[in-house]
Structures are given as structure tokens and as C-alpha cells.
Amino acid sequence: MTDRAADTAAAITVTPAVAGQPVGRPADAPAHGLGTSLAPADAEAKALGTYPYTADLWAEGLLWAAVLRSPHPHARIKRIDTAQAAAMPGVRAVVTHEDVTGTGGLGRAVTDRPPLASEVVRYHGEPVAAVAADHPETARLAAAAIVVEYEVLDAVTDPEKAFEAPPIHPDGNLVRHIPLRHGDPSATGEIVVEGLYRVGRQDPAPVGAESGLAVPRPDGGVEVYIGSTDPHTDRDRLAACLGLTAEQVKICVTGVPGALGDREDLGFQLPLALLAIRTGSPVKLAATREESFLGHAHRHPTLLRYWHHADRDGKLVKVEAQLLMDAGAYADDSAEVLAAAVSFAAGPYVVPNAVVDGWAVRTNNPPSGYLRGEGALQVCAAYEGQMDKLAVHLGLDPAELRARNVMSTGDTLPTGQAVTCPAPVAELLAAVREAPMPALPKDGPVEDWLLPGGPDGAGAPAAVRRGVGYALGMVHMLGAEGTDEVATATVKVEGTVATVLCAAVDSGQGFATLARQIVQDVLGIDEVHVAPVDTDLPPAGAGGRGRHTWVSGGAVERAAKMVRTQLLQPLAATFGMSAELLSIADGKITSYDGVLSTTVAEALEGKELWATAQCRPHPTEPLNEAGQGDAFVGLAFAAVRAVVDVDVELGAVRVVEMAIAQDVGRVLNPRQVRARIEAGVVQGVGAALTEHLRVVRGMVRRPDLSGYPLPTALDAPDVRIVSLLEERDVVAPFGAKAASAVPVVVSPAAVAAAVRAATGRPVNRLPIRPQSAVGGA
């Protein structure tokens, strides 16, 4: 035995296996690893208000930025005069499109938006110029002093008229048309129901408005500190716009105060970087709430016309649909959102024949983009409205009609793609149907009733009707249509401390906690740190659709397993066995027969180990000219039962309870997944009842939180999670599925169904208007 082997052997305690001896974590040991409710490392700092967000950053010699935005939805820029603004005391720089030296544009999927408007403004709030000054008020005053001479043009604000209207963009008004054809297009059913539905413009309304800090670099480049969720794409887009190489631009991710898609917009980052380079000083921007509403993308407003064909028993024969999405002034990612909407236009139901046409068009309305459940939410509201209509026509219970048509594993989407992942839709529906109903108000004293409209609502109890509604929905996981999903992660271990380096941004979805759990599970190490994210790390892609759980988490697991092999192989070789015969659990390394035992801490003493790994799911393909193709990596499903009370005289709605059963694949952190589902349900209730950014003739009305009412704690219903169905997806690391988006998708449709049940009204618009809820019982 060599000296090294002797030292290793000396650190090992050999204990005989004792029959019947309990094996497990001591009662006082910290719970860790997958399947436990490990608390986020930053939870205490966020609760105490000491967590540093971008708005809290500071730098020596700091300047403040302000952005001048267009007051018109469509106008030609005839002249920009910055002389008065530049002459103001304290102003250090004024920039316009003439200072943008690169040739790139803004946008996620399609870079068709100019960094600063040059010849034409195409929406109300489009950035035209920016100012850097010694004080934020000076910057705002200087921005207001910039003189822009506009020639106001006719605005195209009706998506239906965009097809024939003059093009508002060099690429035309049509972003994409998808004509999906599945089965026999000429098939008909004995029963046909028709419906027209509208889904409004929901805003992400982040708790913290956008902010950022840009610091110039000696090489002429810039470092931008911002709450980005896709730093590498941001870096590449910024570099192209600034005329720099990617190496000259660095994105450093700071605390992200929530992200639902709005953090993936470069409209705030470009002026910062440009001003920092121009002035040679650090520049900070902290958007007002109005600027936040005007400056980021929103959910696509959508017009949906449907025809559902069925036989006398309620079995679906064909679904016909026409979907028109308002992309706003620029294409951005509208083509991807449209693909999701068209693909899921029939919902999680078996539909042998489908004819679906989807269009996304440019208008002079504010830009649309990613928002949880993009595309899927809009069609869910429509196809579930159709299922309710069909149930009424056939005299069937709405839940029973759904149960007769639900899809399962092995069925086929209208895109022709086989559903190979677990699809327990029937089980989810059964779970919410069987859940106990909440108590009726009449079971308590009148003074304790929570009437629609709040505790001080003006309605009378006699006018209140209770309704129960059901909805089923689905979302896709990861990117689609050939998106190359890949993430890289490094795991380093020094002593008994592990560090994870991965560019996956934790925007509140819990990736940092998951990464800690993975390393704890694989290596048996309690203390795991996740390094800050910047673009010096290899890319990990944007957050959303379970990407970081699947792809980034998969990369962390592979890297941790490689470190595990480095740790166990020398140990196993010392005793003449394979490393596969050793296991790590509860901080101990034991052999398969229980004879060999040592602690992980003892085995790691004096060692530094590290490994880097990638994870890349199986490829997908674009939809073809008939809307066919294997476009999605995986799917997640949910069923929701909504119980509402409606004052049929006032039109006020109170959501009493939302019961949800969700297909999660595997619960990796019970407390975290429940919190994400509850948050998703409440966001869905907001989309159903209150959240609608009003745009009149292209002008955003009341872009503030008083004009855009969000659900408060008083509006949030009781959320009853009746089932977290764990049927692992074998192709996904850990078997887990996306958790946050599908509750957002299904909840609005369930609320609408419940209001229909309470009032007998059609309820074909989201958010639901008071007049839609006024009617007979």
C-alpha cells in the first residue's frame, strides 16, 4: 500500500452492518437535497429589505440618465434639437440615433427595433433620445427640453385593419401566418358551436421598476449591471448596437425584483451603455412607474374566433379557429408566441381534425412580448369557453364533457407531434372534481359575508350568485421550433464547501436554491454557494418555461456527478472495488455492503475538485407550411376549479376559491413549488378580472398602478392545491416539469367559466367586464 493509500485508509472507519439499525439523517441534521423545502439563501435579506437590487447600486462620479419618449403612436421625426438640453447646467451628454454607431437592433428573436428612433416613431413611448446629468431631476428636465419636431401620421391600431393598411415597418405588417391543417379539414360534427373571444393586454407590472448601472471600461467597452434574465443575449445585442465586440461588453446580473418576461427588453439598457461610453462616467437609470409601463413589452392582445364540432355524445370531431395577435410596433418574439397559440389552439383534448389559422401583425400599439404562458393563455380562454358552450348545447355537465375528451400519453397534438411525456389530464380533472366545495355564505352570519366588491361593497346578499367553473390547460417547456437549448455549469469543491458557477439567473423562480439542492444531493455537502452571474461565464439561456430546472439544473447535476466520480474513484481503488459500489447519503460514503464507511468531510480533506458539464435536450423542429412538426421538447398540464360569487346587479366578482391539480413531474422543493403555483393562480386571477393596460388609438391611458389595478391580498382567493401529480418525465433531468406558467394559463379560463355558471352570460372577454357579469342567474 502506498503512503497516499495508507493515509486514505487511515481516514476510513470500518463498521459492521448491524441488522435492523435505522439508517437516516439525525434529528438535528439540516434538511437538504432534492425533495426538501430548502429555504432560499437570500430569503432573510429580502424579507429584511437589505438585499441589494440594481436600484441600490452606486459608483463614484455617478451620473443619472433619463429617456425622452415619443408622445405619439406614429409620427415622422423631422428634426431633433438637443442644444437647449445640452446647455443646461449639470448636463453631461445628450444622445440620439446619430450617436448609435452599430448596425444592430433591439428585440429578442427578431432585431427589428432601432435602439433610438431615427426617422419614424412607431408607438407611444418609443425612446427617441437620452440624457446624462449630475442629478436625476436635472436629467429629466433636460430630456423634456429636447425639441423634437414631429409630423403626425395615421396610426394603425386595429389588428384586423393591419393587413390592408400601409406598412408601418420596412418588413411589412404581417409578422407570421401559420395555417395548421390536421386530419380531414372537411370533417363536420353533428353539433357546432361558434364563439368570438378577446384577450386584453396584460402587463408584467414588476414589483421593482427597471433600473441599471453602466460603467465604462478602459478598452472603450462597458459593463452593465442590471436585472437581466438572459445576460448573454443582452450582451450580444448591446455590442451589435454599440459597434463593439462581445468581449468589450460585460453584463453583470444584480438582484432581479421579479421577472415575467419584462426583464428581457433592452430598451432600458442601451441608453445606459451609450451614455456611459459617451461621458466616460458611470451612469444610472431608475425608471418611474410610468416609464416602466411604456418601456417594456406586454402580453399579446388577441382576437379569437372558434367553431367546435362534436357528435351527440360530446366527442370532439373538429376544431376550427382563427387567431389574430397584436404584435405591436415590432415583431420581437411574436412568431414564437403565435406558434404556441396555434399549436395549443384545441387544448389538452383529443381532436382528430383541426383547421387553425393564426396571424401576428404589426400595429402602432405598444410592443408585445413574452409573459408567462405566452400564446397558451389566450387560446385556453377561448377553447374552454367553447367547451362550456358545447356542454350547454348538449345538456352535459361541463366537467363531464371535458372528461370525455381529455388527451393522455400517446395521443397526438394537432401539429402531428406525439405526446410522449406524461399527460395525466384525466387524473388532474378528477382531482379537482372530487375536492370538497367551500362553504356557502349562508352558513355564517350575514355580517361576516365577504360580498363581491370587498367588505364594504354596496351590493345586497340577495343579488349574489355562486358559480363553479372548470378549465384544463397546457404549456410547453423550454424553447420550441428548433431552439438550441444548452447550458453550462461548473461545480467546485474545496474542503467541505461547494460553489456552483452557472449563468442561469434566479429571478425568483428558485434556480439558486435548486442548484444548492442538487449539489447537496449528489455530493452530500451541506454548504453550497451559487456564484453571481455575469457574461464571463458560459451561456445558460433565458429563464422561463422550466428551462433552468431542466437545462441548467441538468448541467449542474452532471458537473456534480463528475466531481463525485473524482472523489470516489481513488477511494474505491484503494479497496479494490468500483466507484459505482459506493454511495453518498447524509454526509457519509458507504460501500454497497455497508462495511466501508467514512464521512464526506474526511474524504474531501485537503482536496480541491472541480468539473464543468453541459446539458442539451433533444432537438425540436420548426412547424412546416401546414403547421406540422415536432416543435416541443415537453408539455405540462393543470386542471383548475374556480368558485366565484357574482353580484348580478353590480357585476362585481369575488373569487372564493381556486382548486388546482397540477402535473409537476417531480416535486424538488415542496414549499417552493407550492408558492410558485399559488403566485401563478393569483396572476391568472388578475388577468381574469382586473389587469388590462388600456390603449386608446395607440395611446396608453393611465400607465400607473392606479390605472392598472393588480390583485391585492384582499383580492387573492383561497388557493387549494389538491394534487401535485408526480409522474416523472423520463427525458427530463430529475423528471420535473415547469411549475409557474401553467397555473397562469388555466386560472383565467376557470374564473370565466365560473362567472358563466353564476350568471348565464357568455363571458367572452378577458379581463371580465362588469357588464359581462350582469344578468340572470
The confidence score (pLDDT) of residue 2 equals 36
**pLDDT, tens digit (0-9, with 9 covering 90-100), for 22-53:** 223 334 444 678 999 999 888 888 888 888 88
3-state secondary structure of 371: coil
Same domain assignment for residues 633 and 717: yes
The count of domains in the chain is: 3
Which cell numbers hold the place of 536? 464571463
Q: What is the DSSP letter of 580?
A: G
The confidence score (pLDDT) of residue 107 equals 84
Q: Is the peptide bond before 461 cis (omega within 30 degrees of 0)?
A: no
Same domain assignment for residues 355 and 392: yes
Same domain assignment for residues 77 and 136: yes
Residue 23 CA to residue 412 CA, distance in Å, equals: 46
Residue 701: inside a domain, yes or no? yes
Same domain assignment for residues 672 and 585: no
Identify which has the larger pLDDT, 345 or 568. Answer: 345
Which cell numbers hold the place of 747? 386560472
Residue 755: inside a domain, yes or no? yes
Nearest to 129 by CA among 160, 100, 101: 100
Residue 74 CA to residue 151 CA, distance in Å, equals: 9
Residue 385's domain spans which residues?
Answer: 302-481+622-773
Residue 600: inside a domain, yes or no? yes
**pLDDT, tens digit (0-9, with 9 covering 90-100), for 628-648:** 999 999 999 999 999 999 999
Same domain assignment for residues 560 and 646: no
Same domain assignment for residues 448 and 520: no
Residue 345: inside a domain, yes or no? yes
Residue 6: inside a domain, yes or no? no
- Give the rounded percent of residues in the chain with a pLDDT score beyond 70: 93
Query: Is the distance from CB of 286 to CB of 225 less than 8 angstroms?
Result: no
Phi, psi of 491 (to 5 degrees): -120, 125
Residue 294: inside a domain, yes or no? no
Q: Which CATH number is 691's domain given?
A: 3.30.365.10
Average pLDDT over the chain reads 90
Say if residue 448's pLDDT is above 70: no
Which cell numbers hold the place of 154? 395615421
Residue 600 CA to residue 153 CA, distance in Å, equals: 70
Could you say which of 586, 615, 644 is where a domain stops? Answer: 615
pLDDT category, 583, cuts 50, 70, 90?
A: confident
Say if residue 219's pLDDT is above 50: yes
Residue 102: inside a domain, yes or no? yes
**pLDDT, tens digit (0-9, with 9 covering 90-100), for 105-154:** 888 888 899 999 999 999 999 999 999 999 999 999 999 999 999 999 99
Same domain assignment for residues 149 and 276: yes
Same domain assignment for residues 395 and 336: yes
Same domain assignment for residues 680 and 533: no
Burial class (CB in 10 A: 0-12, 13-18, 19+), 36: middle
3-state secondary structure of 417: coil
Say if residue 365's pLDDT is above 90: yes
Same domain assignment for residues 335 and 351: yes
Query: Is the distance from CB of 761 to CB of 772 less than 8 angstroms?
Result: yes
**pLDDT, tens digit (0-9, with 9 covering 90-100), for 654-710:** 999 999 999 999 999 999 999 999 999 999 999 999 999 999 999 999 999 989 999
Same domain assignment for residues 232 and 351: no
Could you say which of 584, 615, 646 is where a domain stops? Answer: 615
Same domain assignment for residues 463 and 492: no
Residue 629: inside a domain, yes or no? yes
Could you say which of 282, 316, 333 is where a domain stops? Answer: 282
